[in-house]
Chain A
């Protein structure tokens, strides 16, 4: 009896110890622990890690930033102007110090841009860089190989973040990242991939309130939610959409839902009949109840969309019309196109062939698979039979390349470069590399060509508005909804303002922990 009691007592003490050791350390010191959604494999902005070190860890910054309406704003660059159609002059802010104390000068900027151009192939195709000339320690001239009216917008691209040349070791290998941002690198654990940054007291942008940010990669969304609930993290993103409500209701936690520049869209393979008939495409778009999908599939993490650009974006065409949910119109259009249900099986047919289409999507983004299934259900209501498939991205893009698809559902970011021309050109131009539907419209092509050569932003936007109207009528791509993000944090985390221009989410130097 005594032995048992002793044992139980010891067990209780052991458990208490373990519990204490794990006591959630929320407020108190100004340390923010973040449950990050992607694995962190490195810290070199020019090698694919730009979003982590730019938006989330806030170690580095770009020359040009954007405000909440996606207007360009000065960051490390104070002003910029075009000298001729292939030359831009950029003025660099003075008084900015790198984390190691050295001054930011034009040579550092030239180094960073050239390095990014060398290592990052996307930068290379965006920038069309010819050369960079340093005029004085705070002025550079960037020459492009062909007219590039959106060059300043490209300088916002995270891979072209400005780093100190001392970040590179003598052996040419990337060493310790030295940037200009509000936080500086403290440690990166190569095993656990936990990234720790500390306050930069000499930040040019003002006072930084947090002492430290710890980024812990947790790739499973259920685990992220549990980590927040248990207090292992103070801030996280993208808990499972269906959990957003439940977690919001927990004491001490709050969840905010926002839309992002990423859109859910369906690309249509115009080479496969009957999708070459615009009426069929318009009918498909009219048969989709976007509100229902946003509410029941996305749980309102994300919102129905008409055009490719979020309302926040200053160039968004507010007057854009689209084939919104109108089931009668859908049926009418299909009837008009000759597709009628002649054998009463619920599926329309024409000349003996049923109206069956394949809908391909990939699994790597959470909302896509249920959305594909929901779409199948909605389209069946108007008599179109859909075979939905969700596969690995390598498999799906391979099939798309081979032409083995009818409809392709994806979640595409339209704000990578804060200018509408980039996305529209890629998607709707005949040679656009993202134009997998093989859409070709000569009017659209000429608008794109002209726009690349038009300096004046207002004029450019007006041209592109016309382009948007044409493609919304032709509908080679059906826009469904904006991809949403659920920001979940403890109530004691203050000062966070959602940045719609961020890639996944952006932390802010204004954040602090309330005691």
Chain B
């Protein structure tokens, strides 16, 4: 196990490095010059054209004309020492900007995941037990709406009903707990639907295994069988999918973040990409990759707990 962990940690480093390098490379070749967009997001309007002097000034200020491998090398050297550089547009240290946004993102992701798990898992089991009965159908269809609705739709409906009409929660913003409720519910819809389905599917898969029938035929109570045998194995696909959802919530909750004015990492990243603010993009991607690979490692370790027969190597 120790060897496996060390190996995985080494791999994490490799993955993070590869992703950062790829990000850096792609950010430099996508349409829209870096210098030009920096200017358009600071001192110029979107419609103004930067003069050659302005572009030259910005390029030299940030060494944008250096060969890419040198620019990346500099960034990497700094990153290894904990210095992620400064945002071209906001002119503040990238780590500072990230640390400001991370708590909000983590809170939102955690809240949304909790809703998905606390409601999705029990309901998924419920559906599996009542396979093909009326309630199963209804719940399945409701969850299907959860995955096919655009994020903004549910968000705006929630605000309209609970904020404007019932005045129970604020419309948007960040602060005390009451600001978290609506965005968390809106963000959880997709994962909730996914979790419920995965648990249901996993349960059905397991329940069709011979050893389950065997256990029941031997006289063990069905509830006992489900709880002790079926659930653990059934949870495996659900955990995988939940972990994927969590990763997406960290960097991809842009729509929810912008509708609820939630200061998260997702919108920070999208704004940085729009402005070609490369150090900030690198910092965000680094964080997101780091979290993703860590989560995947934890999930892989959880597999061995859920299904002790699983071995790696």
Q: Mark A138-167, 1 if CB is under 8 A from B, else 0.
A: 000000000000000000000100000000
Which B residues lie within 8 Å of A192 (CB)? 173-175, 261, 263
B40 touches A41 (CB 8 A): no
B45 touches A413 (CB 8 A): yes
Of the four ranges (under 10, 10 to 19, 20 to 34, 35 or more), the interface on chain B belongs to 35 or more
A410 touches B169 (CB 8 A): no
Which A residues lie within 8 Å of B169 (CB)? 18, 22
B258 touches A394 (CB 8 A): no
In this assembly, does B154 line the interface, its C-beta being within 8 Å of a C-beta of chain A? Answer: no
List A residues 199-245 near B (Cβ within 8 Å): 216-220, 222-223, 226-227, 229-230, 232
List B residues 157-209 near A (Cβ within 8 Å): 159-160, 163-164, 166-175, 178
Q: Mark B31-46, 1 if CB is under 8 A from A, else 0.
A: 1110011011111111
Per the bound structure, the CA–CA distance linking A250 and B224 in Å amounts to: 59
Which B residues lie within 8 Å of A220 (CB)? 172, 258-259, 261
Which B residues lie within 8 Å of A397 (CB)? 32, 36, 40, 49
Pick from B49, B166, B167, B172: contact of A434, CB below 8 A.
B49
Pick from A42, A121, A227: contact of B39, CB below 8 A.
A121
In this assembly, does A6 line the interface, its C-beta being within 8 Å of a C-beta of chain B? Answer: no
Q: Mark A391-405, 1 if CB is under 8 A from B, else 0.
A: 011110111000000
A122 touches B44 (CB 8 A): yes
Per the bound structure, the CA–CA distance linking A394 and B43 in Å amounts to: 16
Q: Determine the main DSSP class of B at the interface with A.
A: loop
In this assembly, does B60 line the interface, its C-beta being within 8 Å of a C-beta of chain A? Answer: no
List A residues 459-498 near B (Cβ within 8 Å): none
The chain A residue with its CB closest to the CB of B259 is: A220
Nearest Cβ on chain B to A379's Cβ, whole angstroms: 22
Pick from A22, A399, A434: contact of B178, CB below 8 A.
A22
| Number of residue pairs spanning A and B whose beta carbons lie under 8 angstroms apart | 140
Per the bound structure, the CA–CA distance linking A36 and B260 in Å amounts to: 13
Which B residues lie within 8 Å of A410 (CB)? 47
Pick from B30, B166, B172, B258: contact of A232, CB below 8 A.
B172
Which B residues lie within 8 Å of A217 (CB)? 261
In this assembly, does B19 line the interface, its C-beta being within 8 Å of a C-beta of chain A? Answer: no
A433 touches B49 (CB 8 A): yes
Which A residues lie within 8 Å of B160 (CB)? 226
Q: A192-B174, A227-B171 are in contact. Are A395 and B47 (CB under 8 A)?
A: no
Q: A21-B178, A393-B40 are in contact. Are A398 and B159 (CB under 8 A)?
A: no
Per the bound structure, the CA–CA distance linking A48 and B174 in Å amounts to: 25
In this assembly, does B246 line the interface, its C-beta being within 8 Å of a C-beta of chain A? Answer: no
The chain A residue with its CB closest to the CB of B260 is: A223
B156 touches A226 (CB 8 A): yes
In this assembly, does A13 line the interface, its C-beta being within 8 Å of a C-beta of chain B? Answer: no
A434 touches B48 (CB 8 A): yes
B31 touches A395 (CB 8 A): yes
Which B residues lie within 8 Å of A24 (CB)? 167
Q: Mark B83-117, 1 if CB is under 8 A from A, else 0.
A: 00000011110000000110110000000000000
The chain B residue with its CB closest to the CB of A435 is: B49
B276 touches A47 (CB 8 A): no
Per the bound structure, the CA–CA distance linking A269 and B44 in Å amounts to: 23
The chain A residue with its CB closest to the CB of B255 is: A220
In this assembly, does B274 line the interface, its C-beta being within 8 Å of a C-beta of chain A? Answer: yes
B43 touches A191 (CB 8 A): no
Nearest Cβ on chain A to B112's Cβ, whole angstroms: 19
Instruction: Using CB atoms and an 8 Å cutoff, list the residues of chain B in contact with chain A.
Output: 30-33, 36-37, 39-51, 53-54, 57-58, 89-92, 100-101, 103-104, 152, 156, 159-160, 163-164, 166-175, 178, 258-261, 263, 271, 274, 276
Instruction: Using CB atoms and an 8 Å cutoff, list the residues of chain A in contact with chain B.
Output: 15, 18-19, 21-24, 39, 41-42, 47-48, 120-125, 159, 190-194, 216-220, 222-223, 226-227, 229-230, 232, 362, 364-365, 392-395, 397-399, 410-413, 416, 433-434, 436
Contacts A191-B101, A394-B274, A397-B32 known; list 11 others, CB within 8 Å.
Answer: A19-B166, A22-B167, A22-B169, A48-B43, A120-B43, A121-B58, A191-B100, A230-B167, A232-B163, A394-B32, A395-B32
Give 17 CB contacts A-B under 8 Å.
A22-B167, A47-B91, A122-B48, A159-B43, A192-B173, A192-B174, A220-B258, A220-B259, A223-B260, A227-B171, A232-B170, A232-B173, A393-B32, A393-B46, A397-B49, A398-B32, A433-B51
- Which 9 residue pairs are nearest across A and B when measured between Cβ atoms? A394-B32, A398-B31, A48-B42, A412-B47, A121-B54, A227-B171, A230-B164, A433-B49, A232-B171
